[in-house]
């Protein structure tokens, strides 16, 4: 239930390591589903469990393990790109400099390292938010419209990165309406799911 409206109905799915693309019409509940899976929103019934190294994580423990990119990027506008990443590193308990170096290579952040987020373009902010989601090498990555604002070069880097993460055993769940982006993910053997009428099913079932 969300604001008195039943958004999801009897969703039952297992997401194995690899790429997963979740499709659906506007208002189908895709972002709500992602928020529940990431422990950021509580469902009125049912459970979400992450099996990790012989542990079964739920709720807050699951949230702390998942990398997150929401529709609202959640960056601090008066902090610089570096300061936003550094803050998340402290929250995650990981060293800042190695994470920044990796982010700089992956998302090409160095050109605007010391610029406040409020002064960045939409695509630049997206790159900072993606880098933040990757801090600490999370075993689960939940991405809501990750291609928004990215130019062709940045998008290629993101697709390549997601492919590598999937091969490394990360569970990557992506919500997107971007058909060219989705097609590129499908070429990487992404599993595609359809959310409609509050129910989730893998396409082809």
Structural domains of the chain in order of their starting residue, each with its CATH number: 18-202 (3.40.50.300)
Residue 153, helix vs strand vs coil: helix
pTM: 0.87
In the beta sheet, which residues pair with residue 173? 20, 142
Burial 64-101 (b: 16+ CB within 10 A, else e): ebbbbbbeebebeeebbbbbbbbbbbeebeeebeebbe
What angle (nearest 5°) sits at the alpha carbon of residue 103, between those of residues 116 and 55?
115
Confidence of residue 24 (pLDDT cuts 50, 70, 90): confident
Check residue 2 and give its pLDDT.
39
In the beta sheet, which residues pair with residue 20? 173, 191
CA distance 205 to 192: 11
Confidence of residue 5 (pLDDT cuts 50, 70, 90): very low
Answer with the residue of higher pLDDT: 54 or 192: 192
Segment 126-146, tens digit of pLDDT: 999 999 999 999 999 999 999
CA distance 146 to 144: 6
Q: Would you report the helix, strand and coil content of the chain in percent, each value rounded to 5?
A: 40, 20, 40
Contact yes or no for 182/106 (Cβ under 8 A): no
């Amino acid at each position: 239930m969300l604001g008195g409206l039943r958004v999801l109905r009897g969703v039952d799915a297992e997401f194995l390591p690899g790429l997963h693309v979740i499709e659906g019409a506007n208002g189908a509940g895709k972002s709500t589903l992602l928020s529940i899976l990431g422990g950021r929103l509580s469902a009125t019934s049912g459970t979400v469990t992450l099996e990790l190294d012989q542990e079964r994580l739920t709720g807050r423990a699951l949230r702390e393990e998942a990398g997150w990119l929401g529709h609202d990027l959640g960056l601090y506008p008066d902090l610089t790109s570096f300061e936003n990443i550094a803050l998340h590193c402290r929250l995650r308990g990981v060293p800042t400099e190695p994470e920044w170096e990796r982010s700089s290579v992956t998302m090409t952040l160095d050109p605007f390292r010391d610029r406040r987020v409020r002064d960045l373009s939409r695509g630049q902010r997206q790159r900072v938010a993606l880098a933040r989601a990757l801090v600490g090498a999370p075993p689960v990555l939940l991405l809501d419209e990750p291609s928004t604002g990215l130019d062709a070069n940045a998008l290629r880097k993101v697709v390549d990165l997601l492919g590598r993460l999937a091969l490394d055993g990360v569970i990557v769940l992506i919500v997107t309406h971007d058909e060219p982006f989705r097609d590129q993910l499908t070429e990487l053997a992404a599993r595609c799911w359809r959310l409609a009428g509050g129910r989730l099913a893998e396409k082809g079932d």
